[in-house]
Amino acid sequence: MSAQMHQSPAQSSNAWLKTYYYLRFAVSAAWVAAAFTVAKNSPPLAAVMLVAYPLWDALANYLDAQRSGGLGRNRSQLLNFVVSIVTAIAVAIALGYSMNAVLAVYGVWAAFSGVFQLLTAVRRWKTNGAQWAMILSGAQSALAGLFFVKMAGGAEAIGIANVAPYAAFGAFYFLVSAVWLSVSEMLRRSPQAAR
C-alpha cells in the first residue's frame, strides 16, 4: 500500500494546506516584488495588478474551499470569495476616479476579508492546528483595512507601493503557516521513524 492510502483525512487536509499556503506565499511575494519595481513606474501595469490581486484571492478561496466540501459548506470562504470578486470590480471602477478611491476600496476589502480569513482559521483550528498565523493575519488585515480607509481620505499621493506592504504581510503569514505545518509534520514523523 502507498503512503497516500495510510493518510488520515487530517493529514491529507494538512498536505493540501501546506501546498496552498506555499502557493499563496509565492504569488503574493511575486506581486509585491512587481509592485515595488516595474509596476511602481507603470500605471497601466499597476492598474492590472490592483484588479488582479483580489481576483487571485477569490480564486484561491474557491480552490481551497473545494478541498473541504465546497463554498456551500465553508461560509466564511464563500463570503471572502464574493467580497473579493466585488472588490475587483470596484477597483476597476475606482481606477477611473483616483488612487485614493482605489485605496479606500482596498481598505474595505482588507477589513472584510481579514475577518473572513480569521473565521476560516478558527474553524480549521480543531482539525488542522497551526492556524495561529492565519488568525493573526486575518486580524492584522482587518486593522490594515481601517488604516487604508483613513489614509485614502488624506492628501498624500497614493500608488501601488502603498498597497504592497499589506500584500507583503500576507505573504509572510502564509509562509509562516506553511513552514509551521511542514515542521509539525516532520516532528510527527520522527518518533514513528525511530520505532
User: In angstroms, how far is the first alpha carbon of the chain from the final one?
Assistant: 19
Nearest one of 44, 23, 59, 61 to 160, comparing CA atoms: 44
**What is the model's pLDDT at position 49?**
97
Q: Residue 2: which pLDDT band, with cuts at 50, 70 and 90?
A: very low
Instruction: For residue 27, give the amino acid letter.
Output: V
Phi-psi region of 7 (alpha: psi -120 to 50; beta: other; left: phi over 0): beta
Q: How far is CA 174 from the centre of its chain?
A: 7
* Residue 31 neighbours by CB under 8 Å, 6+ apart: 49, 52, 53, 56, 164, 167
Q: Residue 106: which pLDDT band, with cuts at 50, 70 and 90?
A: very high
| pLDDT > 80? residue 195 | no
* Residue 193 neighbours by CB under 8 Å, 6+ apart: none
C-beta of residue 49 within 8 angstroms of C-beta of residue 39: yes
Dump pLDDT digits (tens) for 119-175: 988 887 777 666 788 888 889 999 999 999 998 988 788 889 989 999 999 899 889
| DSSP 8-state assignment for residue 85 | H
Interatomic CA distance for residues 118 and 39, integer angstroms: 30
Q: What is the pTM of this model?
A: 0.85
Q: Where are the domains of the chain?
A: 12-185
Q: What percent of the chain has pLDDT over 90?
A: 52
**What is the model's pLDDT at position 175?**
92
